[in-house]
């Protein structure tokens, strides 16, 4: 079965690797794409994905064990037929929140993405990663990635996009690399900002408070009484004076009603996390879904895994903007030339 026959409605097709719970998949779906296959190894991520995308075929396993032949057979495509090949390889080795080790084995997972890309030869690919990969000594890793992707037969362009300008109520910068197959003679490009920042009050509009309450500790309640109004970052001096040390101060942050929320963490450890603007609790899962642009009815297994899934996901509205741009400004040109 060819990609053209894979969707009788003529929707552009996509395969999502490192799919997680489906943040990118949701963006492509909203942009009118037909997802032929999702590739993910994490058990909870796969369970969450299947809850929300029951009609999408999933390869549940290690991507290094997935051959190009099997990938195309599962998706029902032949070489060169796929429209978009998408992936967000794990980025912990590049993240500025970690130790940023060039030799971190997680940094090499992009090679699996490149291996499949080279064999499948889609018209376009999209690769997302953290901005840490283009900073300082890690920039060498970024240049290596670009070189590898170009050697797969693609014109490539990377650009930092901030989700807050794409209808996402969250300050979240990510490097988005878009590639277009050489024979199509089309330069890759990125969507321009399309919205003003959305503040927390606007994001929470009409949301009913649920019972998912993770309360803050006593010393944070004391901190909140002295915490500067309308502020995002914690005040280190006040924090240290009350707690006795600065442990957790960098990762403990307050939302402000009148500002766009900062980047959601992928985990909540001890006393750290993002705290509600004026209540003695952390953000609920429902509120985090709003901040990340997931729909209210998107299902997660539980709070802990939900925080992880959201923190590791590409915000759906950001990917929707990228997918629509590719659909309207790149794929449309390939159809005109056919």
91 is catalytic: yes
- State the DSSP code for 22: S
Quote the radius of gyration of the chain (alpha carbons, Å).
21
Instruction: List, in sequence order, every residue forming a beta bridge with 253; answer none if it has no partner.
Output: 274
From residue 300, alpha-carbon distances to 53, 60, 305 in Å are 12, 18, 7
Backbone angles phi, psi at 205, to 5 degrees: -55, 125
| Interatomic CA distance for residues 22 and 39, integer angstroms | 10
Beta bridge partners of 159: 176
Helices (H) and strands (E) in the chain — how many of each?
13, 9
- Whole-angstrom Cα distance, residue 126 to residue 248? 34
Residues 48 and 299 sit within 8 Å (Cβ to Cβ): yes
124 phi/psi in degrees, rounded to 5: -135, 150
Of 91, 152, 156, 255, the catalytic one is 91
- Which residues are CB-neighbours of 335 under 8 A, at least 6 positions away? none
**34 alpha-carbon distance from chain centroid:** 19
Closest CA relative to residue 76, chosen from 124, 34, 24, 135 = 34
Gap between the Cα atoms of 332 and 330, Å rounded: 5
Q: Are 94 and 102 in contact (CB under 8 A)?
A: no
* Beta-strand relationship, 34-40 and 84-87: unpaired
Name the β-bridge partners of 247. none
Distance separating alpha carbons of residues 19 and 24, to the nearest angstrom: 7
Residues labelled as active-site residues? 91
């Amino acid at each position: 079965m060819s990609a053209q026959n894979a969707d009788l409605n003529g929707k552009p097709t996509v395969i999502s690797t490192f799919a997680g719970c489906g943040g990118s998949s949701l963006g492509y779906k909203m942009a009118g794409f037909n997802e032929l296959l999702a590739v993910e190894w994490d058990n909870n991520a796969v369970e969450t994905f299947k809850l929300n995308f029951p009609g999408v075929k999933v390869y549940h396993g290690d991507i290094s064990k997935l051959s190009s032949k099997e990938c195309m057979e599962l998706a029902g495509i032949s070489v060169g037929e796929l429209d978009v090949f998408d992936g967000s390889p794990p980025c912990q080795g590049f993240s500025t929140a970690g130790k940023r080790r060039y030799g971190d084995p997680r940094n090499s997972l992009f090679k699996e993405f490149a291996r499949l890309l080279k064999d499948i030869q889609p018209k376009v690919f999209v690769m997302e990663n953290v901005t840490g990969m283009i900073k300082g000594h890690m920039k060498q890793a970024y240049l290596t990635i670009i070189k590898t992707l170009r050697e797969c037969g693609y014109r490539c362009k990377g650009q930092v996009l901030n989700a807050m300008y794409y209808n996402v109520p969250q300050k979240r910068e990510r490097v988005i690399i878009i590639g277009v197959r050489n024979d199509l003679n089309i330069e890759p490009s990125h969507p321009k900002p399309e919205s003003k920042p959305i503040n927390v009050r606007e994001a929470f509009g009409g949301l009913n408070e649920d019972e998912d309450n993770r309360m803050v500790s006593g010393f944070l309640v004391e901190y909140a009484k002295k915490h500067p109004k309308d502020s995002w970052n914690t005040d280190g001096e006040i924090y240290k004076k009350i707690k006795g040390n600065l442990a957790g101060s960098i990762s403990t942050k307050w939302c402000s009603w009148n500002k766009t929320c900062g980047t959601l963490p992928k985990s909540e450890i001890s006393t750290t996390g993002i705290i509600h603007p004026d209540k003695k609790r952390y953000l609920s899962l429902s509120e985090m879904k709003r901040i990340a642009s997931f729909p209210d009815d998107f299902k997660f297994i539980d709070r802990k895994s939900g925080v992880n899934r959201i923190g590791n996901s590409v915000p759906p509205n950001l990917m929707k903007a990228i997918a629509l741009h590719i659909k309207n400004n790149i794929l449309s040109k390939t159809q005109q030339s056919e």
